[in-house]
Amino acid sequence: MRAFVQVDLGAIAHNVSEIKSRTNAEILAVVKADAYGHGLIPVASTAIDAGARWLGVALLEEALALREAGVEVPVIAWLTPPHEDFERALKLHIDLSVSSIALFSEILDWGDRLGIKPRLHFEVDTGMRRGGVLGEWEKFLTYALVNRDRYILVGVWSHFARADEPSSEFSSLQEQTFDVNVAELHERGLHPEIVHLSNSAATLTRPTAHRSMVRLGIAMYGLSPDVNEMGSATNYNLRPAMTIKAQLHLVKEAMAGDAVGYGGVEVLTHDTKLGVVTMGYSDGLPRSTSNSAGVTFDGVRAPLVGRISMDQCVVNLGPHSTAQAGDYVTVMGGDGYSIDEWAAADHTINYEIVTRIASRVPRIYQLK
């Protein structure tokens, strides 16, 4: 196996349990994007066993995959444009998020055809200006009231824009707006069973925002929502779940002055040994990553040299390395460069690093 992702399901379980011990709210485990690259079904099953009572995904096909795998807990899909397969969604009792009258109406029509009351969550825009009802809120409320016998109002929710900046006042303003929205629902006799607002960042830093359910995303995978603003995930007793390893295709001696890789953008300053690692940008490694990331062999760091190629990359093993072709190196996680370090080296966020690891890299699961 030339490369693989090792997923520690024990870490996932630990992280869910840790968050569960910090709140009285129910836990919704966010498993969108193939569980942030960790594997949809194994992570979902682990999260449920650890105490999560809900699952959340972006896409309807992700929710359908969970049902097809036999997952029975409540599942909400919150990014469903018009004309999705709402027939299957309703038949499989998948919760749907609505943030426009047009989508609301389409889903209710499907419910009428099937004789099934859709399970709905109203998303309100409290300041992020992404998803959620905004300008048509009053009309939306009227529509919801007139049609109240055609659906089940399971939840009302919104999403923080800056919860990963604990010092920002914007989250407080969003909470206030959300409270107004919820109060307006109650005033019209619309009483959602679940009220949810907190993402991982708010779950870790804003107890006032927990409400009746928190949505546990990046923190469940043992990563900080923002390492610069909130510090490392270890500050919150969370354990990273992902480690990536790959084989060395080749080890060779190279001389000072040699240019390495496409474009010859990096020139060696000393004689050394180079290792050719069997992972590249088609596997999800960011092409523009600087040499402040790399791999480790026997606990010794070997920084990247030159540009990452499609299927491979080159690292500086050092002149005295004993590494040989066929040996495994740790690309990230474990005893290697952390996922946060890879993110910093590519001027991006840890979310992007883990979700971009390609499906052609097998996932290997373990329960420590």
Whole-angstrom distance, CA of residue 197 vs CA of residue 158? 5
Q: In the block, which residue shows the tokens 């474009």?
A: 263
**Active-site choice (20, 32, 245, 273):** 32
Query: Angle 60-68/40-49 helices, nearest 10 degrees?
Result: 70
C-alpha triplet 4, 282, 250: angle, nearest 5°: 65
Parallel, antiparallel or unpaired: strands 3-8 and 26-30: unpaired
Asked if 365 is an active-site residue, the reply is: no
**Active-site choice (91, 139, 252, 262):** 262
Asked if 143 is an active-site residue, the reply is: no
CB-side neighbour CA atoms (13 Å) of 291: 16
CB of 164 closer than 8 Å to CB of 226: yes
Output phi, psi for 245, to 5 deg.
Answer: -130, 150
Q: Which residues are catalytic?
A: 32, 262
